[in-house]
Amino acid sequence: MTTSIGVVMTEHIVAGRLTGPLGQQKLEGERLRYPTDELEAEALIGVPASELYDLLASEIAPLIAASSEPVSAIGVAVPGIVRNGVVEDSPNLNQIKGVRLADELGAVLLNQGIKVPVHVLNDADAVAAGLAASGGHLDRLIRVWTLGNGIGYGRWPQADGVWEGGHTVVSLDPKERYCGCGGVGHIEGIMGNRAMRLRFLDLEPEEIFANAKQGDLRCREFVDLWHRALAAGTATAIHLGGPGKFYFTGLNVDFLELPVLRGYLEAMVKMSPLQSYSLEVLQEDDATAILGAGVAALRAQSW
């Protein structure tokens, strides 16, 4: 039996304890969440990094204290470019840009008498790892798009590279400047919540898609652009990494119309060896990312 802790920090923090043989771990006991009110969105934006370490530790410590077995690793999933325990950039949580998160959180935990290795990874990669682990397919290639405040592209097994698929360029229009990173023509600059709010200053994302269904031309044209952007990113991934299964999940996955996406993809991927791809929508579930963060942390101990 092996025990680990999985933590996900995006617009909120969720954490859980995993137990079981390596490769067969499952969530055990309760999940902890900050803030506790699930309707409170974007609670972490603007919170200083030093306070985030304490918030993370406050979710981790009770799980370790309640464990009957020693905890072998802690996995923390966050949005952005993460390498060697350092958050090199994070447009959707700007305060952690450049932070040596593994070291800083490890030091806060050590001050509380907790000495456990901390592994930090991208949040979309954690979702991919969780999907692989929940299906018993840790030896297979898993790719997933997470659709929410930002647009994540997760991959398992983890490999060298940045894999910031949400910043794939899908438009050459110089007016497409809505991405939080400042780049022009990015997927996230079309599909992300922040980008949609900037584009439609008078509407929330939910209202845009609702109005499109009611026949509003401006909203309908945008919904088509939204799907074309996701199709372009997926087609690029297919042309670079080959066909296979793609999962779609996240806060805004209910906006996705799979037949529309498939239609655009069929127009973009024409080489016959690349057409054996499949698409599956999964409802957002923090448990998947928690599982992936914990499993990735354990795997990192043996890499």
CATH code at position 248: 3.30.420.40
For residues 29 and 73, membership in a common domain is answered with yes
Q: What would the DSSP string read from start to end of 216-275?
A: -HHHHHHHHHHHHHHHHHHHHHHHHH-S-EEEEESTTGGG--HHHHHHHHHHH---GGG-
Q: Which of 36-45, 54-63, 214-223 has the lowest mean pLDDT?
A: 36-45
199 shares its domain with 266: yes
Q: Residue 168: which domain range?
A: 131-281
Q: Are residues 138 and 277 in the same domain?
A: yes
Question: Taking 70 as the threshold, does the pLDDT of residue 65 lie above it?
Answer: yes
* Residue 55 in this model has a pLDDT that exceeds 70: yes
| Judgement on whether residues 290 and 185 belong to the same structural domain of the protein | no
Residues 10 and 98 placed together within one structural domain of the fold: yes
Over 70: is that where the pLDDT of 303 sits? no
**Same domain for 186 and 145:** yes
Tell me how many domains the chain contains.
2
How does pLDDT run across 220-256, given as a tens digit for each residue?
999 999 999 999 999 999 999 999 999 999 999 999 9
Instruction: Quote the pLDDT of residue 298.
Output: 93
Spatial distance between the Cα atoms of 138 and 141, rounded to a whole number of angstroms: 8
259, 271: one domain: yes
pLDDT digits (tens, 9 = 90+) for 149-204: 899 999 998 777 888 999 999 999 999 999 999 999 999 999 999 999 999 999 99
Instruction: State whether 198 and 296 are in the same domain.
Output: no
Q: Same domain, yes or no, for 226 and 104?
A: no
pLDDT number for residue 139: 80
Give the model's pLDDT for residue 103: 97
Q: Do 139 and 157 fall into the same domain? A: yes
What's the CA gap between 72 and 297, in Å, rounded?
9
Q: Are residues 295 and 178 in the same domain?
A: no
